[in-house]
Structure 1
Amino acid sequence: MKKFLSELRRRKVVKTLVAYVGLSWLLLQVVGVITSMIEVSPLVGPGTLLLLACGLPVAVYLSWHFDISLEGVERTPSLDEEDNPTLKPLGWLRWTGLVSVFLVSCLIGYQYFDSIRAEQQATREGLNTVKLADSIAVLPFTDQSPEKDQSYLALGLSEEITSLLGRSDGFKVSASRSSQILTEKGLTPIDIGRRLNVKTVLTGSVRATGNRLKIRVELLDTETGHTLWTESFLRELKDIFDVESEIGRAVVNLLQDRYIEAGSFESFSSTNSTDAYVMYLKGREQYRKQTTESMKEARKLFEQAVALDPEYAKGYVGLADTLVMLAEHETGFGILQTDIAAALGQQNIDKALVRQPMMAEAYAVKGYISFILNDFDSALNEFNKAIELNPSLSAAYMWKFLALNSLQRFDESLLALQKSQELDPLFQTGSYNLGVALTRSGRLEEAEGVFKQLKQDHPDSTFSHQGLADIYFSQGNIVGALSETQKAVRLSPENQHFVYKLIAQMLQLGLSENINKSKDNPAWKEAIDYYYPNLLILDKDFDALFKHMDFLLAANPEDYWISFEAAWYHAMFGDKEKSYLLLTEKKNLIDDADTFFMPHCSPAIEIAWAEQALGNLEVAHKLIMKCEELMNLQRNSSISYFELDYLAARIYALNGQRPQAIQALSKAINDGWREWWTKHDPLLLSLSEEPKFKELLQFIDDDLEKQKLEALALFDE
């Protein structure tokens, strides 16, 4: 080593290297100045650096064999040649070595240069793509705090950025809920983006140490997987709202190729109290769990948030939202009386809107308050205002669907629901409602696809089985419906709705023995008691049936539905004169909405039959005309129920139009109508001698018997 170092000094290699490095540094400075002054290729700087770096081995090799100075270039003699005045030229071996060093340096340099060129090209392509990107999903941020106890902050931050970005026009922002579900399933950010059908995803992490936050964000292109933008923020907790706005502004500027000035993209979640913000985020964490217990806890946390900062608009919205969700309304958790929940919610929404009159979430909750109070037109106005302020607010579209549905504006309701599903495709209730709406529209293949995807996304959910059961039932496949309902019961054995549904399907196939086997099951007792009259009918024990109904009538003299049920049994198997009186005497106990309940238009159509039999033809005609009007209204929309065809058959039969009645009945059966009591329906009595009518009834009996055998095999498994 000592000899080698001595030889380096003698050959002046170090001197040459110092000079080479110095000249290289000077050249790089010149290149840096020039590229900053004029527009040149971004590869000039990296290319120059690589050229100089790759030239270094060549310079070392040359300096070993030659003395390079201002006087010229002379070959450096070896130790054996120092006393020889005449130096021989370098041999072919040394020139080969020089060529080899040169070629290897060029090859390595080219590989690095090509890598840099490809990376810069990918970046340029990414930037060109991102300028056209019109959709994004903000994934739940990762909690990187030492104790891993800041998940509420990490999730809350991504949720707030989602809300902030949703206010940008022409920009689809996927809902936080779906992003969170897919993240919990372990999918990569790129796969999540593709599943949500967005062009970009924003990921990030949060590390909280005391009041200090370190937030890192990264914007990814879901098509190429390239990173489009990354940034880190080190701030105080009190500055988090500025960070939210800065991130949102940067993303919109980058993705939409426009410039939003600082301060013009304000976060509506801002508060002067960091403690209030923490309480709000913890409240949101509880709200997302969607259980009765968590909603109660969320209410307390939101109340603490507004107590800490009485000017905190987002806190009032969270509190109002939670209060109305606790209502006894069918869409709520059944804790507060609906009118009380609505009044408390409205008080808090009014406070929020005074402080932040442009907050979309506030108008959405305000609309929901109107909805649970059955003021559907006002609800629609508020939902439209919310959507105008935030076109990506999926909850507003979902609630708008409910209001439109209540107004029987089915085509519009389906569009609203599809938009909600587009923004929040993994929301279980949204997927289920979409499947139901498609089923109602007769788009059964699409509906089945929705429910199967729901089953894949949420294998432990009952929603997919409920939806598939409805599809199969609408096709006349009672066994298929029975199988899916059984699966729902296994997943949620205490859910009485599923038990009722299962028993109804079993009754349809005449499986009374199988029902009676479950009499001792506490979860089934209530439902079996409810269907007791139907079991008596299957057993043909009509004396017990009418004795039971007489008892219920005496015990509930002001309950029209008991009268209707008793009347219906008498109309089919008992005293028809009594059924006429039971149907008509107390019909004023129910309002029009209940009288003309669609798609059966029942009990109006049965009352019309009774009035017709009693000779009250004008009253009967008005009822029939109203049912026909409602039937045509639904038929002219996207509604496609076989019940509508059966209703048409009954209307035609009551009007004496027997050919049309049989045609409508045939269509209903062809589409899936399989009610066992069709042959006993007194409204179709005028068709009883028609051969085609008898043929249709025989088809129903044969198909139900066939399915009964299939169902028995199902229960034996």
Structure 2
Amino acid sequence: MASNEQLKLAHVLFIDIVGYSRLLNDEQRECLQTLNQIIRASVEFRRADESCKLKRLPTGDGVALVLFTSPDAPAECAVEISSALKQHPELRVRMGIHTGPVNDIIDLNEQSNVAGGGINMAQRVMDCADAGHILMSKRVAEDLGQYRQWQPYLHDLGEVEVKHGVTVQLVNFYGEDFGNPAPPDKCSRAAIVAASATAALLIGAGMWLLTRAPKPAASPSQLDKSIAVLPFENLSRDPDNAYFAEGIQDEILTRLAKIADLKVISRTSTSRYKSSPDNLPEIAKQLGVANILEGSVQKTGDSVRVNVQLINAGTDAHLWAETYDRKVSEIFEFQSDIAQRVASALEAKLTGREGQQIASSAATENPRAYEAYLRGLALDVRGANTSGDRDAFREAVELDPEFAAAWAALANREAFEYFQVKGTPEQLGRARDAMEMALRLAPDASESHAAATSFYYYCLQDFDRALEYAAEARRRAPNDAHVILLTALVKRRQGKFDEAIELLHEAAKLDPRNNDIWLSIGRSERGARRFDGALTYFDRALAIAPGEPAIVGEKAFALLAAGDLERVEQLLKSVPRTDGSIASHSYVSLLIYRRAFDRAAEITSQVLRNANPERLELFLPRIALARIEILRGNREAGLQTMREIRGTLEERKRGGDRSVWIRSELILLAAMRGAREAVEREGAELLRMTENDKWSFPESQETLARGYALLGDADRAIPLLGRLLQETYHLSLSTADLRLNPEWDSIRNDPRFQQLAQETAP
């Protein structure tokens, strides 16, 4: 029953997947997931969604987008989607556009929704299309035809009969980069001929021509507004000033990233290229952009010269160029000017807030503080070392306590250090102080909200609060891939795994050469035991960073989970096995699976001899060595090592360190020495710590199950294992692990365990 019978005008884009019903269930899910990612990434979709002027109507094999914005919004959205689909030839999609009446209703779920003839007609228009087509009704084409920018892309198909004897005048909407120029099968040759004879239409005081042009024109979409800012060349005599050139590039990119009408590639991806390269078209293709901004920086004393030029990579046309000779103290002024000039050259539409953001005044008046900040940014993007960039940011805020951007950068590093390394009250306080200072000094800055996202995610695991700040950060910097990545990671912790993967793919479009994003997707696929998918994404990460031991190790663990030990052996031949990396850890796991305990002990001992004794990561190989000693019969040696490790871990725990890994290791150490009470006490604490984290909580349960198994308690371990095999989580348990890992030997002969180990391999 309609809640409001008053009709209103809507602009509808109807989308579906051609041949959907012939796909397998897994293929249907994957196709819909990819299509949803592409739709969600479009600027028009986000703009309408954020302004609450969008209704989404899922149709099973697609979706209808009902927009209450402008008549050209569905066309803009269709161009974006069609262009993005060029990267997914396996996904065959058709679209139909119509403007017509709809009315508000209350649907069967008692939710506010819309229905009406405008939606029905858009579907009929789409039904006439083949794969790749964007068809629109004559009414929409007449609206668009009043604007010069759309005229070259409107190609009349004439009148076509659809359902129930209804006829529709159709227009094929295509250009060089979008749509399908071939006539749809449902449009007869006679209709096309008749249409071409009467193609000239008079609208108002102007004329526009609907014709099938012999060569499609270039796309009018935002794709022409896509840009990558390549590393600026350091022309200074002092090579230590390289960070200064990198920092200027980063600041310009940061300002451009705040403009929703642009697609701006993250610096993590662009930093992999050299300054002023010869192969701009190839780089633009790899990054998925049309335009490149490149330049050089020469710093002498307190003076700086910056040359910058904006180039269309496809035509090699110089869209804009400028040379700035300024004092270092004037750096913020010309960075703002560059961002504004680039936006103008690309005809980007700026909101009032965006204009204010990119024209913002100096972040600090202290040149030394700014140089320390730039040094921190340079170290951060290189992944040089965590303490180096953190120390540079600390120096920046000591030199200028009012430097909000430096506080935000520092907050990110302090929060991550609390999560990854040192979960002490002191470290939590440092992260909180930096985050609160950033918000106090710059409450409207995207960087401040991103810092708060990191704090609530990494430190407090308050995922709802983290998402609130992430949404604010993204509204202020829609091209910030790091914010999208953080949002995805938070969603994954909430158990929204498919949504998290969609967001990771969205982040990858803005940061395609960031192997961490592809690693995150691979980990998500591995957590769902979709091992083929996980391997695909780990390979994408390796294509960016060939031979990187950390990535090789991640791939090896996926193969171990799948039970493919031979491929693990072949994979690990290409990387060091005794450097303490994830790759060496995976090699030790392979040896344990094969019960080659002597060799596993030899490799682990070599890792310990090679490593810096101060490294925190040494806890893991020392614990591994203790386990191996017990497995190969040297129980007393293993227990002695455990006693040493246990004392250190318990001391850290008494000092307030809330690191989850400490509790996990204390559980296993207690189990190996037969201390049931300690296993249950530490296990209860670990489950309380992670109960709100859907990505880690099952892993905590698995640790407890391993503890019970080491105690020989099959009645407590096996029910947990049965549930865990159905869960998606980090490093999820597989049946291959049950079959091969000697940690399960004490309960292996239990018929219930044997049944679990043989269920749907791996």
TM beyond 0.5:
yes
Letter of the structure 1 residue corresponding to residue 229 of structure 2: V
1:291 is aligned to 385
Q: 1:369 aligns with which of 450, 455, 472?
A: 455
2:298 is aligned to 207
Letter of the structure 2 residue corresponding to residue 298 of structure 1: A
Q: 1:240 aligns with which of 331, 337, 350?
A: 331
Distance in 2 separating the partners of 1:545 and 1:471: 30
CA contact (8 A) 1:552 1:562 kept: no
Letter of the structure 2 residue corresponding to residue 247 of structure 1: I
1:350 is aligned to 436
Q: CA offsets per residue over residues 164-223 of structure 1, 9 Å max, x none?
A: 111111422111121111227966333322211112111122334554443332222233
TM-score, scaled to structure 1: 0.60
Distance in 1 separating the partners of 2:265 and 2:225: 11
Q: Which has the higher strand share?
A: 2
1:712 is aligned to none
Distance in 1 separating the partners of 2:398 and 2:498: 42
Q: How does 1:603-622 map to 2 (within 5 A)?
A: none
Distance in 1 separating the partners of 2:373 and 2:536: 38
Letter of the structure 2 residue corresponding to residue 225 of structure 1: D
2:478 is aligned to 391
Distance in 1 separating the partners of 2:679 and 2:702: 11
The secondary structure found in structure 2 opposite 1:206 is: strand
The secondary structure found in structure 2 opposite 1:227 is: strand
Q: CA offsets per residue over residues 363-422 of structure 1, 9 Å max, x none?
A: 111111122322222222212211121111122223333333333332232233223333
The alpha-carbon deviation at position 627 of structure 1 amounts to 7.5
1:494 is aligned to 579
Matched, 1:329 2:419: yes
Letter of the structure 2 residue corresponding to residue 277 of structure 1: Y
1:598 is aligned to 698
Distance in 2 separating the partners of 1:143 and 1:586: 54
Q: 1:270 aligns with which of 362, 375, 388?
A: 362
Distance in 2 separating the partners of 1:552 and 1:400: 39
The secondary structure found in structure 1 opposite 2:362 is: coil
Q: Indicate the percent of aligned positions where both proteins have the same amino acid.
A: 17
2:400 is aligned to 306
Q: How does 1:661-700 map to 2 (within 5 A)?
A: 668=735, 674-677=739-742, 680=745, 682=747, 685-686=750-751
1:100 is aligned to none
Distance in 2 separating the partners of 1:168 and 1:694: 53
1:153 is aligned to 244
Letter of the structure 2 residue corresponding to residue 362 of structure 1: S
CA contact (8 A) 1:249 1:260 kept: no
The secondary structure found in structure 1 opposite 2:444 is: coil
1:195 is aligned to 286
The alpha-carbon deviation at position 444 of structure 1 amounts to 3.7
Matched, 1:281 2:374: yes
Letter of the structure 2 residue corresponding to residue 521 of structure 1: Q
The alpha-carbon deviation at position 591 of structure 1 amounts to 3.7
Structure 1 residues 459, 640: closer, same or farther in 2, change over 3 A?
closer
Instruction: Give the alignment's Cα RMSD to 1 decimal.
Output: 4.8
- Range with bigger deviation, 456-465 or 675-684: 675-684
- Range with bigger deviation, 262-271 or 140-149: 262-271
Structure 1 residues 550, 197: closer, same or farther in 2, change over 3 A?
closer
CA contact (8 A) 2:415 2:431 kept: yes
Structure 1 residues 507, 264: closer, same or farther in 2, change over 3 A?
closer
CA contact (8 A) 1:280 1:302 kept: yes
CA contact (8 A) 1:360 1:386 kept: yes
Letter of the structure 2 residue corresponding to residue 291 of structure 1: N
Q: Which has the higher helix share?
A: 1
The secondary structure found in structure 1 opposite 2:479 is: coil
The alpha-carbon deviation at position 466 of structure 1 amounts to 1.2
CA contact (8 A) 1:135 1:198 kept: yes
Distance in 1 separating the partners of 2:710 and 2:757: 27
Distance in 1 separating the partners of 2:239 and 2:303: 15
Letter of the structure 1 residue corresponding to residue 447 of structure 2: E
Structure 1 residues 268, 474: closer, same or farther in 2, change over 3 A?
farther
The alpha-carbon deviation at position 339 of structure 1 amounts to 3.3
1:433 is aligned to 520
Structure 1 residues 244, 560: closer, same or farther in 2, change over 3 A?
closer
Matched, 1:382 2:447: no
The alpha-carbon deviation at position 506 of structure 1 amounts to 0.4
CA contact (8 A) 1:237 1:274 kept: no
Distance in 1 separating the partners of 2:711 and 2:629: 29
Distance in 1 separating the partners of 2:626 and 2:520: 31
Structure 1 residues 367, 340: closer, same or farther in 2, change over 3 A?
farther
Matched, 1:178 2:269: yes
Uncovered stretches (5+) of structure 1, i.e. residues with no partner: 1-124, 571-577, 645-667, 704-717
Q: 2:426 aligns with which of 334, 340, 355?
A: 340
The alpha-carbon deviation at position 345 of structure 1 amounts to 3.5
Distance in 2 separating the partners of 1:203 and 1:553: 58
Q: 2:319 aligns with which of 228, 231, 242?
A: 228
The secondary structure found in structure 2 opposite 1:160 is: helix
1:511 is aligned to 596
Structure 1 residues 461, 185: closer, same or farther in 2, change over 3 A?
farther
The alpha-carbon deviation at position 509 of structure 1 amounts to 0.6
CA contact (8 A) 2:579 2:607 kept: no
The secondary structure found in structure 1 opposite 2:419 is: coil
Q: CA offsets per residue over residues 48-93 of structure 1, 9 Å max, x none?
A: xxxxxxxxxxxxxxxxxxxxxxxxxxxxxxxxxxxxxxxxxxxxxx
The alpha-carbon deviation at position 517 of structure 1 amounts to 5.0
Distance in 2 separating the partners of 1:613 and 1:132: 60
Q: 1:643 aligns with which of 729, 733, 738?
A: 733
Pairs aligned (count): 517
Distance in 1 separating the partners of 2:598 and 2:563: 22
The alpha-carbon deviation at position 235 of structure 1 amounts to 3.8
CA contact (8 A) 2:554 2:582 kept: no
The secondary structure found in structure 1 opposite 2:750 is: helix
Structure of larger gyration radius: 1
The alpha-carbon deviation at position 606 of structure 1 amounts to 7.6
Matched, 1:133 2:224: yes
CA contact (8 A) 1:287 1:298 kept: no
The secondary structure found in structure 2 opposite 1:228 is: strand
The secondary structure found in structure 2 opposite 1:181 is: coil
Q: 1:409 aligns with which of 481, 493, 496?
A: 496
Structure 1 residues 384, 148: closer, same or farther in 2, change over 3 A?
same
Letter of the structure 2 residue corresponding to residue 422 of structure 1: K
The secondary structure found in structure 2 opposite 1:521 is: helix
CA contact (8 A) 2:293 2:310 kept: yes
CA contact (8 A) 2:386 2:413 kept: no
CA contact (8 A) 1:428 1:463 kept: no
2:106 is aligned to none
Q: How does 1:15-164 map to 2 (within 5 A)?
A: 133-145=224-236, 147=238, 150-164=241-255
Distance in 2 separating the partners of 1:611 and 1:395: 43
The secondary structure found in structure 2 opposite 1:273 is: coil
TM-score, scaled to structure 2: 0.57
